[in-house]
Amino acid sequence: MARRNKLQKFAEILAFPHVIENYSFHQPQLVGKDGVPVDLVGHWAERQFGNAHPITLELACGRGEYTVALAARYPGRNFIGMDIKGARIWRGAKNALDAGLTNVAFLRSRIELVDHFFAPEEVDEIWITFPDPFSRKGQVNRRLVAPVFLDRYRKILKNDGLIHLKTDNDFYYHFALETIRDYPHTTLITHSGDIYAGELPHPDLDIKTYYERMHLEAGLTIKYVQFKLRKNG
């Protein structure tokens, strides 16, 4: 039954006009509805959303709670959730359709390819919400705030583009702060080891994902880091 449900979701994703997919790590071609190849690099706002609004990209978006909630909150911006898990993408895409949101899209691909799918300075802002911490020593380059990923983000973000990290993991939080300190193109804006200990450091932190609610019920604290990436210097 579970397999049949997953196959049904994958079939529905193919029919969604706001889900874009990449099928091969070695060939970064994007396909849209009904598996038709699409050329969106440098044209996401114009061709996908039909406007010229700023783009916010959520990485490791999971079920897309942040992507959908932010889109409902800011109709004058475009939001793209990116994740590799098709069943999760389906949930976010379905919620966006049911809510009648036209400023939402989802990109199903590995995040290692993110700089292949956007033109330089095409993205205004990035959210990274509860990513896998990949805490083993040999997994450094799989962490979404590792220098190898910051290099990719610098290619697609506008100069001084904001990056938001929300995590429940102490190790990941401190790793992010150390990386920002050592990486030559970052400016730390603010950070908090417990966002609910006082006034929220950012108004959009009030959005709670499925996983965040689980973490809070387990007694974990939610951490936040906000920083900028510079093109030069």
pLDDT digits (tens, 9 = 90+) for 164-201: 999 999 999 999 999 999 999 999 999 999 999 999 99
Global pTM value: 0.94
Task: Count how many Cα atoms sit within 13 Å of the Cα of residue 66 in the half-sphere of its side chain.
Answer: 28
Enclosing domain of residue 102: 2-229
Confidence of residue 86 (pLDDT cuts 50, 70, 90): confident
CATH number at residue 223: 3.40.50.150
Confidence of residue 28 (pLDDT cuts 50, 70, 90): confident
Q: Nearest to residue 82, comparing CAs of 37, 118, 135, 39?
A: 118
pLDDT, mean of residues 13-29: 90
pLDDT one-digit tens code per residue, 112-145: 999 999 999 999 999 999 999 999 989 999 999 9
151 belongs to the catalytic site: no
pLDDT at site 231: 84
Confidence of residue 1 (pLDDT cuts 50, 70, 90): very low
Confidence of residue 85 (pLDDT cuts 50, 70, 90): confident
| Active-site hit among 98, 115, 132, 170 | 132
Structure letter (DSSP) for residue 105? E
Q: Nearest to residue 95, comparing CAs of 61, 60, 56, 143?
A: 61
Number of separate domains in the chain: 1
